[in-house]
Amino acid sequence: MMMGRVASAAFVGIAWIFLTMAAIGCGHQSTKQTDADNGTPGVDTSEVEAVARAVVEIGGTFDYRDQKSQYDQLQPLSADKYPFREEPLAVSQQRIWTSRVIATRVVSISKDDAIITTTDEQFRQYLSDQSSEVVEEHLLQQSDCRFVLQEGQWLASRCRTLSEEPLPQEDGETPSNASTPSTKVSPVPTAQQEEIRKAIKDLALYAIGPDPTFDVEVGGNTYYTDSSGTEWVGFTVFPVPVGEADPAFGVAKRASGEDWKLLGMATGPVGDVVPDDVKKGLGIDWRR
């Protein structure tokens, strides 16, 4: 998996325009201690990483019909205060998109200052200015956010997009020759999500080779059980940090009483590793 990302310096939509001025957030909890690159060894980073996740997910989740809702979620936790301003272009383009953080990394942290990078998947829908047709995009983004500790609370003071890479759409009309799972197929059952995510992550790291120089996160999973009871999962593996490698698309299966087995994982097509009914069941266009 070699790097081949498409970098973008432009911020897209009111969400990132606002975040550039004053990024804010709170939410998703984790428990982790880390030796930050330029920070204090053993610092508990779970709180500031939770803020970083929320900053990116709230900032990247937008509906042109209710712009103030996003502002109201962000503003109370901002290190700097700005008045609400509706974005007319977002209305004319009917922008709707959602964001999900799949990884965070502490770049540096001190007693009252931290820099966090996040990796997230974003789905966008809007009307093209040229054709007035609906455009749908699936992107992998990396963002860099700075946080300050004020009165015992981490507040975001700056957030910017570092890179933006298009991921394949279900119709295959994308810059890549592989496709990610369709949103119309079955997701992984809730009770098995963590178990399957961990199994795929372990298989992916093993496939990369001994002592990989980067971690991976698993996302975009779809699930299918064939007539024999064999379970199949289609997935996307994202490198952490972004830039160490390209996202890879793969498939794994588990027969009754057996462990998960990785059948294929690549940045290109792997269509020859699964039967036709599985391709259809997973909703993935595994081109050769």
Residue 122 CA to residue 139 CA, distance in Å, equals: 5
- Our CA dihedral for 53, 45, 236, 209, rounded to 10 degrees, sits at 160
Burial readout 116-134 (b: 16 or more C-beta within 10 A, e: otherwise):
bbbbbbbbbebeeeeeeee
What pLDDT does residue 158 have? 87
Residue 267 lies in a domain: yes
- Write out the H or E segment, with its range, that includes residue 68: helix 67-74
CB–CB of 191/205 below 8 Å?
no
Is residue 77 located within the same domain as residue 152? yes
What pTM, to 2 d.p., does this model score? 0.53
**CA 136/CA 127 separation, integer angstroms:** 9
- Residue 94 maps to which CATH number? 3.10.450
Statement to judge: residues 155 and 215 lie in one domain:
no
CA dihedral 201, 206, 209, 215 (to 10 degrees): 20
What whole-number distance in Å separates Cα of residue 158 and Cα of residue 52?
A: 11
Q: Is residue 152 part of a domain?
A: yes
Structure tokens at 63: 């509906």
Which of the residues in the chain have pLDDT under 70?
1-43, 168-185, 219-220, 242-243, 267-273, 283-288
Do 156 and 198 lie in a common domain?
A: no
- Domain-embedded: residue 251: yes
**Dist CA 283 CA 273 (whole Å):** 15
Q: Based on the domain organization, do 38 and 152 belong to the same domain? A: yes
* Residue 65 shares a structural domain with residue 162: yes
Q: What are the contacts of 271-277 at 24+ separation with CB within 8 A? A: 274/232, 275/226, 277/226
Task: Give yes or no: residues 18 and 143 share one domain.
Answer: yes
In a domain, 255, yes or no: yes
Question: In the listed set 135, 167, 199, which residue is the last one of a domain according to the structure?
Answer: 167
Q: By residue range, what is the domain housing residue 34?
A: 13-167
Domain end marker among 167, 202, 232: 167
Q: Which residue type sits at 42? A: G
Residues 26, 104 within the same domain: yes
| Same domain flag for 26 and 152 | yes
Do 234 and 152 have their domain in common? no
How many structural domains compose the chain? Answer: 2
Same domain, 77 and 149: yes
* Same domain? 123 vs 75: yes
pLDDT number for residue 268: 61
Residue 179 located in a structural domain: no
Q: What are phi and psi for residue 146, nearest 5 degrees?
A: -110, 140
**Residue 161 placed within a domain:** yes
Q: Could you say which of 133, 167, 201 is where a domain stops?
A: 167
Statement to judge: residues 22 and 127 lie in one domain: yes
Residue 172, in any domain of the structure = no
Residue 177 lies in a domain: no
